[in-house]
Chains A and B, each alone.
Chain A
């Protein structure tokens, strides 16, 4: 009897969660690591509740990586298939791959032009998500970027481009390190940048259309990469590269910029380390704010995203607290950010560099071609 009561109570509890309470509830669902959930719950949510009395922001996380976005998709796809009139998610934070798929399946609301900050978005990735046209449906929450980190005590003649890096590595064998393609995305980004630099026609890789014959032209650049690898250290992972930079075992290596600054703030990297975004550019990736096509509180959701992408929040929350690059054009942040934080993020990589040399990853089929060609012709 008692068990049954408990079960009934539990069932009631489970059922009651998704129902909108009498006061309005804004549901924000986030793919990504726990820090993103915390960001909404502890930072954005309270600010929004202050300006919108009676609204409660609920933050839900679905886990890191594309798998986290996949869960959001499955939840909404089920509601779509059931012809529900109002979906129980108002704002979502998703990865690039899923944004394209959801636009294609008409699951997103075109809201960008309805929010005032929509005009401040200039990055390529805001309209092109790994080959899919997502213009109007998303605003980047942040942009994360890869770059070459180096120790200025050991590197005097800092390379400005991939070609100069090749020369530098010849002169300084085993002083450059990256993690191959199986040890994390910073190495994948480095290899992608290599193909952009020496393959020609990198626009086609980023925008399509896909042509299976393209990879045949990569033999030379992959052979060059193989001989380049003879003089570099293959590190164990994203963190492995940072570790070796910290211990002075390598002088240069590709890293995620946000990881770089976070490690530095934690005292795990010497404070004099610097970053360089080499020409023609290296890839980065955003995460997107999006609104489901039938969000129950679409109007509130727009206001929430307007706040989240306002120059103030982008400056204080995204840049200062989490070391990401802003999702809106960095020039709107000037003056909103204290000088120290501005200098820190843009000291090495200027906003102009970021918009000219911050590239997207290639469209999915080219992306797989790059990885597999590397495995076949460089690693094996």
Chain B
């Protein structure tokens, strides 16, 4: 018994060491730096005060962008996964199944670069509308602001959530769906009232992972939108590059941790409950 326990510890040791060295230590270090006065090194909230003075709008903006993008991503993913599960037109199904995963393989920075020319006032999208006669050149507007960031995030994250969701939906007992359909429920109603409740946990996991990913992206807000307001990642980079000020950058980091902590708490609570139910 003790021998096997020793062996187990030995086996997890490398992984544990990696987590401690590359995650736990930097995390504690940055939290400590966020709470210390750069002049005296003493415990202080001065960095948070400065972060609030300079970046209060950016904090609210970041939260808004990420929450809205997560919600829209979830909606789009439900639509795609729902159609893949309940759709009845074979060629549409094949086409959609083939197409929707593409953005998964495109890095954020490439997506941002594409959006820069696609969403601009005289960009590809507006020019196409003008060529089709849908819009007049004077009516076009640029989406290279918060809307551009939102669109890029949703475009990039939807396939990821849809992939998880479609998998979960495919493994459902189809009898429940067919029973609902036989009783006269429309496909939309069957999706909302029968399918979705059963894949709720998967949707939530996918959304939380997207939320955390989007909160950490630097390239998209830098490249797609101007810097006023901007997301916290840009502010952190600027704090370090322009002033060499790691303390306030770390304070902004802690504020980001707090945002993710809420979702992490939901995620952990859910997985603990699942384990309890499963055992």
Contacts and interface: CB of A to CB of B under 8 A. Distances in A.
Task: State whether these chains interact.
Answer: yes
Contact of B120 (A237, A243, A378): A243
Contacts of B53: 376, 380
Interface string B131-158: 0000000000010100000000000000
B234 to A, nearest CB: 6
Contacts of A240: 116, 223, 226
15 contacts: A182-B227, A182-B230, A183-B226, A236-B116, A236-B224, A237-B222, A240-B223, A244-B120, A247-B123, A371-B243, A372-B54, A378-B228, A379-B227, A380-B56, A380-B58
A49 interface: no
A247 B227 contact: no
Nearest to A241: B226
Nearest to B148: A236
A248 interface: yes
Contacts of A36: none
A181 B237 CA distance: 12
Contact of A236 (B223, B229, B238, B243): B223
Nearest to B121: A249
Interface stretch (A128-136, A214-222, A227-235): A227-235
Interface in A349-380: 368, 371-372, 375-376, 378-380
Interface in B50-101: 53-58
B58 A183 contact: no
A179 interface: yes
B54 A376 contact: yes
B114 to A, nearest CB: 13
SS class of chain B's interface: helix, strand, loop or mixed?
Answer: helix
Interface string A235-261: 111001001100111000000000000
A376 B123 CA distance: 33
Residue in B122, B224, B226, B228 whose Cβ sees the most chain A Cβ within 10 Å: B226
A180 B227 contact: yes
B120 A375 contact: no
B10 to A, nearest CB: 31
A164 B187 CA distance: 63
A233 B226 contact: yes
Contacts of A371: 242-243
B96 to A, nearest CB: 32
A380 B54 contact: yes
B227 A179 contact: yes
Residue in A180, A182, A229, A368 whose Cβ sees the most chain B Cβ within 10 Å: A182
B107 to A, nearest CB: 18
Interface string B213-255: 0000000001111111110001100100011000000000000
Q: Which 4 A-B pairs have the closest CB atoms?
A: A234-B226, A182-B227, A180-B227, A247-B122
A376 B56 CA distance: 10
A378 B228 CA distance: 9
B103 to A, nearest CB: 21
Given A235-B226, A368-B243, A182 B121 contact: no
A234 B226 CA distance: 5
B54 A236 contact: no
Interface in B105-124: 116-117, 120-123
A372 B116 contact: no
Interface in A174-216: 179-183
Contacts of B58: 380
A183 B227 contact: yes
Contacts of A182: 227, 230, 234-235, 238
Contacts of A380: 53-58
A237 B229 contact: no
A179 B226 contact: yes
Contacts of A375: 54-55
Residue in A181, A229, A368, A372 whose Cβ sees the most chain B Cβ within 10 Å: A372
Interface string B194-222: 00000000000000000000000000001
A379 B223 contact: no
A243 B56 CA distance: 30
Nearest to B59: A380
Given A236-B223, A247-B122, A380-B56, 8 more contacts: A179-B226, A180-B226, A182-B227, A237-B222, A240-B226, A247-B123, A376-B54, A378-B228
